[in-house]
Amino acid sequence: MRPPYRTFSDFLAERFPCKMQKLTVDAGFSCPNRDGTLSTGGCIYCNNSSFTPVRADGSSVAVQIARSKDFFARKYPDMRYLTYFQAYTGTHAPADTLMRLYSEALDQPGVDGLIIGTRPDCMPQPLLERLARLRESCFVMVEYGAETSHNTTLDIINRCHTWEQTCDAVRRTADAGIETGLHFINGLPGESTAMMMQTVKAINTLPVDVVKFHQMQVVKGTELARRYLRGEAGIIEFSVENYLDLCVQIVKTLRSDIAIERFVSQSPADMLLCPRWGLKNHEFTDRLNSRLSSTSCGCGHSG
C-alpha cells in the first residue's frame, strides 16, 4: 500500500535508478554543545550512544563503510550506498579535515553520495561553498537538527541555537543547490500539540526537501531522565493512539512536496525510560499508513 504522503524512498527514487542504502559512520566528531565551544552539558535529552549503531565504532570511515556494506551486500548485491555522517556534529571540524573525510567516504566502491547531519549553527558559508562544488559531481544532502521552531523550547532543552539560525542555514543550503533535511522532536518539554503543529506550519515556509520526526524519548543517563524521575520533565507522555493522531495531523498539514523520512525512533529498550510502546518503527508506520489511507481522498495527499 502506497503511503498518502511523499516518502524518503520517493525522494531517492527521483535521484537514483537503483535501491539506495544509508551507511552510518562515526567520523569521531565532537559537538560544540558538549565540547565547551557553546556548552559542556549538551541538549538535555542527548545520550549519543542511544542513536549510534554499534557498527559505527570509531574505526576509519573506509573500514566502517566496508563493514556495513558487507552486511547489506550479502542480501542485496546490486545495492548502492549513501554515507551518513550521523554521530554528533558532522561539520564540527576544520574544513580541510571535513573534506578529507567526505572524500574518503566517496572514494569507497558503491558509494554515490553523502548525507551530513549537523547543527544549524555549524554551517559556515565557506564550507557550504565547498560542499556545493562537491554536489556538482555527486549527491550531497545536509540534515540539520532543528528540533522545534520555538525558541523558548530550544532554551529549555539547552540546544544553544535559535530557530532563526535554522531558517538561515536551510535557506543558504538550498541556495547553494544542496538537498536539505530537517529533524524534529515531537513532545519536547513544555510543548503542547498546538505548538508542535505551529512548528509544522513553520517548516512549510522553508525550502526543505526532507523532514524526520520522532517522539520525545527519555533516555537513561540524561538530564531529561533526571528531571523525569523527579516528576519535572514537563513532557506529554503520548500513547501510541495519541501519537498516531498527531502524525495524521502532521501529514495533513505538511507541504505535500516535502518527503517524510520517519515519524518514530526507537532507542535500545534497556536505555529507555519512556515511552515504552513495544512497537518497532515499521509497525508504527504501518499503523499510521493504514489510518491515513482510510481517511485519504485518494489524490495522493491526505486531507
Interface contacts to ligand SF4, rule CB under 6 A: 31, 33-34, 42-43, 46, 48, 88, 119, 145
- Cα separation, 218 vs 236, in Å, equals 11
- Smallest distance, ligand SF4 to C-beta of residue 244, A: 26
Burial of residue 1 (number of CB atoms within 10 Å: 0-12, 13-18, 19+): exposed
- Residue among 33 and 173 whose Cβ is closer to ligand SF4: 33
How many C-beta atoms surround the C-beta of residue 297 within 10 A? 9
Contact 35, 42 (CB under 8 A): no
Q: How far is the CB of 193 from ligand SF4 (least distance, A)?
A: 23
Q: Which is nearer to ligand SF4, 31 or 236 (CB)?
A: 31
Shortest gap between Cβ of 32 and ligand SF4 (angstroms)?
A: 7
CB 303 within 8 A of CB 251: yes
CB nearer ligand SF4, residue 35 or residue 261: 35
Give whichever of 5 and 213 is closer to ligand SF4, judged by the CB atom. Answer: 213
Min dist. Cβ of residue 42 to ligand SF4 (A): 3
The three three-digit cell numbers of residue 238, written as one number:
503520548
Instruction: Between 122 and 141, name the residue whose CB sits nearer to ligand SF4.
Output: 122
Look up cell 533535511; give the residue. Answer: 181
Please state the closest distance from residue 80 (CB atom) to ligand SF4, in A.
28
Nearer to ligand SF4, 46 or 141 (CB): 46
Q: Pseudo-torsion of CA 203, 205, 206, 211, nearest 10°?
A: 20
The minimum distance between CB 249 and ligand SF4, in angstroms, equals 25
Q: Which is nearer to ligand SF4, 45 or 243 (CB)?
A: 45
Q: How far is the CB of 156 from ligand SF4 (least distance, A)?
A: 13
